[in-house]
Amino acid sequence: MKTSLEHRSGQRGPLTHNINSRAVLGCLHTGIGETHLNNLLSTLNVPTINPVTFKCREREIGAAEEKVAQTSCLQNMALERKLAVENGAKEDAEGFVRVSCSYDMGWQKRGKGHNSSTGHGAVMGLKTGKVMDYTTRTKAVEFVKMLKKTGKKAKIHDCRINHFASSKVMEPLAAVDLFTPSLKSNVKLSVYTGDDDSTTAAHIKQKVSYPVEKWTDIVHAKRSLTTRLYNLAQRGKFTNSSVLSQRVISYLVKCFSYCVSQNRGNSLALQKALKNIVPHAFGNHASCDESWCRAKQDPLNYKHSDLPYGKDLFGDELQKSVQTIFDDYCTDLVVEKLAPAANSQRNEALNSIIGSKNSKIRYYGGSASNDFRVACGISQANLGYNYLSETRESLNIEPGEYCLNHIEKMDHKATQDKLRKTSLDFKRRRAQLHNKKLKIDGNKEAKEGATYQSNIGLNLDPNISTQVANEIDVNNKITKEELQQIEKFLPELTIRPVAEKYLFNRNNVYNFIIFDTETNTSGKTAEICQLSAINRSGLHQFNEYILPSKDVDVHASKVNGFSVRRIHGTRTLCKENQPVSSIPIEQAIQNFVAFLQRTVESVKSSDKQICTVLLGHNSQVFDTPTLLRQGGNQLSQRLVSLNVFFFRQPSPDEETREK
């Protein structure tokens, strides 16, 4: 009993069951092989297919698939030529038409692919986005390897070895083989867009008979820039500079992308804009254009939209290193390549399709199966899922109702996905979610510390405890052993020194001075931005603005109105968005001590001791410790010599005890 319809696959011999050819085509389409197919069939309790039968049907399907792919490429080449003529391109004296394309190489190996045994290259039209021609590269075949080992003579077979050099030269040689045959279709691929990872342009110039212009792929350029900035952040050590964080790198790369997009086709304007990226980020807006730099319109209130806290970057060493990287993209040669703002992402999409059929985690390069799977990817990129039905029809196999319905469904889905992902709302939402994820991950990594990086455990001593204490539910009872384990993570207790107390004495003359400070943040890292004082009579006043070494955080700025901005390349202290004259903390402390000395000299006393008392609102908790910490031992010694004391408000318990 026949379980399937049959078709003729050769000139003689028995007919071939359609189901076997369908199964093998399904394997090529889904990216699996004979082992995977038999695993599926056996799980379904269906008879498996013989490996020899599978290979015979694969050769049959593969030959038909390559014809479908080649036919679609020729049709797209003719279509690109037609569209170029319609857009104003003229034939030269020999009847050739100049067509622009994108080119890239893909390897069937994970990683860089510099030692891959197989690869494929394709030229794609910029108008249609379809493949106009493709080629594959194969260095070794298992059948040939076996013959070399056994010493047997090779039979007549379909040998796929066509590359005898290193894997790195696959890309430029494949490009030469693709740009030359285009002349048969009366087409000159005069302009191509590609990455700068190989010497393809040099090989084309030497070996292709017509001139070809090279455009740089802006997506690859952005990736290269990002990688270089990350390497700088990891290897460079900059003192008194901003942190080259992930957010800062994203900002610089975004500015690069905006420059290329806004100055498309204008190389001079692009070069000028690229040179201004680093100075703009560091607060120097002298050469910025008013059309895109809002600091030109309102320099005092301007804040960066994506830099941390909206502040300018700072640090001469950091600025010089970043500028060196950007200078490589500002040369006349590179700017001319970047100006068209072209990309080869259509080739990346093609490589993704081929990767779904010729997976990098499996090796099909030992036979013609590699070329067959590449042909399936080319056909799907050009014809959509309908290539399945065309392949069957070329073999006199009916596609079937379920197959046609699924093809229609998948083509509709692919069209809708393309429309959705190219919309502006989708791109904005994608960027928003990406930034949100970066922020959340950054906060978590800051709390966790370094847990995963290259060679982090190479010199790790397992005898030293590096584990992190787990969160503990305080409602559960903690055993003594657990408590001792937790105490290992806590620093030793440091007893806070107790200040000496002095009681009020009527025999002394007291010089009361009210003082107050404004700082750039709270806690022990606070730096004074403003120090003010006034004596009891109001005749002596003191006020100085101090430029802190770190910027004012958002919460402190909302309370005191201070901010640190870079105006004309100089860090400037601002009060309510207005610049104020500031001095270093050392000079401010000296002026404050001189002010205290003048107030002491103004007090008239013949024989009584003069005691100066500094007091302020909540000063004993924050203002006094901050002033003493920033003044150092020198300030403490001067205060002792001037007989200066700090007022301390007694606690309710102390008042009760005194009563």
For residue 469, the model assigns a pLDDT of: 45
The answer to whether residues 331 and 358 belong to one domain is: no
What does the DSSP assignment read for 525-591?
Answer: T--EEEEEEEETTSS-EEEEEB--SSPPPHHHHHHH-EEEEEETTEEEEEETTEE---B-HHHHHHH
In a domain, 456, yes or no: no
Give me the torsion for CA of 260, 264, 267, 272, rounded to 10°.
-50
The answer to whether residues 203 and 62 belong to one domain is: yes
The answer to whether residues 387 and 535 belong to one domain is: no
Which strands form 578-579's sheet, in the order they lie side by side? Answer: 562-567, 570-575, 578-579
CB 593 within 8 A of CB 643: no
The answer to whether residues 187 and 238 belong to one domain is: no
Q: Which of 372, 616, 623, 405 is nearest to 517 (CA)?
A: 623
- Helical H runs in 133-181? 142-150, 170-179
Cα–Cα distance between 557 and 561 in angstroms, integer?
5
Question: What confidence tens digit (pLDDT) does each residue in 33-69 have?
Answer: 999 999 999 999 999 999 999 999 999 999 999 999 9
The answer to whether residues 315 and 349 belong to one domain is: no
The answer to whether residues 622 and 595 belong to one domain is: yes
For residue 390, the model assigns a pLDDT of: 92
Cα–Cα distance between 398 and 4 in angstroms, integer?
12
Counting Cβ atoms within 10 Å, is residue 390 exposed (0-12), middle (13-18) or buried (19+)? middle
Q: Is 60 exceeded by the pLDDT of residue 655?
A: no
Q: Is 50 exceeded by the pLDDT of residue 27?
A: yes
The answer to whether residues 259 and 291 belong to one domain is: yes
Q: What is the 3-state secondary structure (H, E, C) of 406-445?
A: HHHHHHHHHHHHHHHHCCHHHHHHHHHHHHHHHHHHHHHH
The answer to whether residues 328 and 442 belong to one domain is: no
The answer to whether residues 521 and 552 belong to one domain is: yes
The answer to whether residues 203 and 262 belong to one domain is: no
Residue 434: domain span: 401-447
Where does a domain end: 310, 338, 366? 338
The answer to whether residues 247 and 320 belong to one domain is: yes
Question: What confidence tens digit (pLDDT) does each residue in 506-515 have?
Answer: 888 888 999 9
492's CB contacts (< 8 A; 6+ apart) are none
| Model confidence pTM above 0.85 | no
pLDDT tier, 605 (very low <50, low <70, confident <90, very high otherwise)? low
Domain total in the chain: 4
In a domain, 106, yes or no: yes
The answer to whether residues 526 and 637 belong to one domain is: yes
In a domain, 487, yes or no: no
In a domain, 571, yes or no: yes
Q: What is the 3-state secondary structure (H, E, C) of 4-61?
A: CCEECCCCCCCCEEHHHHHHHHHHHHHCCCHHHHHHHHHHCCCCCCCHHHHHHHHHHH
Cα–Cα distance between 173 and 601 in angstroms, integer?
90
Cα–Cα distance between 635 and 644 in angstroms, integer?
11
For residue 382, the model assigns a pLDDT of: 94
Where does a domain end: 293, 308, 338? 338
In a domain, 547, yes or no: yes
Question: What confidence tens digit (pLDDT) does each residue in 271-290 have?
Answer: 999 999 999 999 888 888 87
Question: What confidence tens digit (pLDDT) does each residue in 406-419 have?
Answer: 999 999 999 999 89
Q: What are the tokens at 595?
A: 């002010």
In a domain, 492, yes or no: no
Q: What are the tokens at 309?
A: 């806290």
pLDDT tier, 557 (very low <50, low <70, confident <90, very high otherwise)? confident
pLDDT tier, 652 (very low <50, low <70, confident <90, very high otherwise)? low
In a domain, 188, yes or no: yes
In a domain, 650, yes or no: yes
**CATH assignment of the domain containing 574:** 3.30.420.10
